[in-house]
Amino acid sequence: MNRRLPWATFALIAINVVVFAWQFFTHGFDSNQALVDHGALYGPAVLHGEWWRIVSGAFEHGGVLHIALNMFALYQVGAFVEFVAGRPRMLAIYFIALLGSGLAVTFFAPNQITVGASGAIFGLFGALVAIGIRMGQAGRSLIGQTLPIIGINLVLTFTIPTISIAGHVGGLISGFLAGLALLMMMPRRVQAQEQVEADELAAHPQEALVGAAETGDVHEFAAGDGHEVTEEDAR
């Protein structure tokens, strides 16, 4: 199978890495205040008009391990969604989930200082379920492979204190709904070769998903008041 290169996924990873390098060289994650000063998502600031923090916070991270795990997950699931749903739909799902995640944090956990791409990444996992539903019987294997990964990461979300519950759940729901809506707009008749390749991936989704399942690697860092940022906090 001739798989197209996931350029949109590569571009998102590059943006995250560039932002992280800027944080690194400007001490952007040395403290809560440093995170906020660099554009972290912080509910009170958002509600006072700084809506751009919903986007900027999703491209910042709390440490080396934090970004490494998230970028690995983004590569795994982003490339898969981009291949099956197409580049424009993958990007649309990513940013809709990013916004849904940020709004969920703003309104349900406003006092958390939150950074990380994982809300949007959770949205891509949600979109995989939507893709499986759209494929019908051929998508059952995809759904069966995706749900345990979502379950593992939800368990981590609800058991690790520094992970944003609102961000992950908001991103997951937003991505699933966006995936359903965007895929419903696709023509019923798709090009034969694309459908064959999509069915093949759906039948063997472990090629793209096994890495994420092994590491449980979707994390969004949320710091509480007075919480100092360390590398371990980003786990």
Does this model's pTM top 0.75? yes
Count how many domains the chain has.
1
Q: Which residues contact 133 (CB under 8 A, 6 or more apart)?
A: 139, 143, 180
Kindly state whether residue 232 falls inside one of the protein's structural domains.
Answer: no
Q: How far apart are CA 125 and CA 179, in angstroms?
A: 10
Q: How many degrees, rounded to 5, is the angle at CA 8 between CA 115 and CA 4?
A: 140
Structure token pair of residue 168 = 């992950």
**Which amino acids are annotated catalytic?**
118, 168
- What pLDDT is attached to residue 155? 95
- What pLDDT is attached to residue 193? 42
Kindly state whether residue 1 falls inside one of the protein's structural domains.
Answer: no
Collapsing DSSP to helix, strand or coil, 194 comes out as helix
Kindly state whether residue 206 falls inside one of the protein's structural domains.
Answer: yes
Which range scores top for mean pLDDT: 82-96, 189-203, 210-224?
Answer: 82-96
Domain residues for 165? Answer: 7-222
- What pLDDT is attached to residue 28? 93
Residues in the chain: 235
Kindly state whether residue 231 falls inside one of the protein's structural domains.
Answer: no
Task: List helix spans (H) across 113-225.
Answer: 118-135, 140-159, 165-184, 192-203, 206-215
Domain of 127, CATH number, reads 1.20.1540.10
- The helix (run of H) or strand (run of E) holding residue 48 is none
Q: Which residues are bridge partners to 222 per DSSP? A: 114
Pair 73, 99: CB distance under 8 Å: no
Average of pLDDT values for 177-181? Answer: 95
9-48 pLDDT, tens digit per residue, is 999 999 999 999 999 999 998 899 999 999 999 999 999 9
Count the neighbouring beta carbons within 10 Å of the beta carbon of residue 190.
12
Kindly state whether residue 96 falls inside one of the protein's structural domains.
Answer: yes
Pick from 21, 60, 52, 77: which is nearest to 207 by CA? 77
Kindly state whether residue 150 falls inside one of the protein's structural domains.
Answer: yes
Q: Give the Å distances, CA to CA, from 177 to 122, 166, 189, 216.
A: 12, 16, 22, 23
Kindly state whether residue 172 falls inside one of the protein's structural domains.
Answer: yes
Structure token pair of residue 46 = 């958002």
More confident residue, 201 or 76: 76
More confident residue, 150 or 199: 150
201-235 pLDDT, tens digit per residue, is 555 554 444 433 333 445 566 665 443 332 333 33
Kindly state whether residue 198 falls inside one of the protein's structural domains.
Answer: yes
Q: How far apart are CA 79 and CA 77, in angstroms?
A: 6
Average of pLDDT values for 185-194? Answer: 50
48-60 pLDDT, tens digit per residue, is 999 999 999 999 9
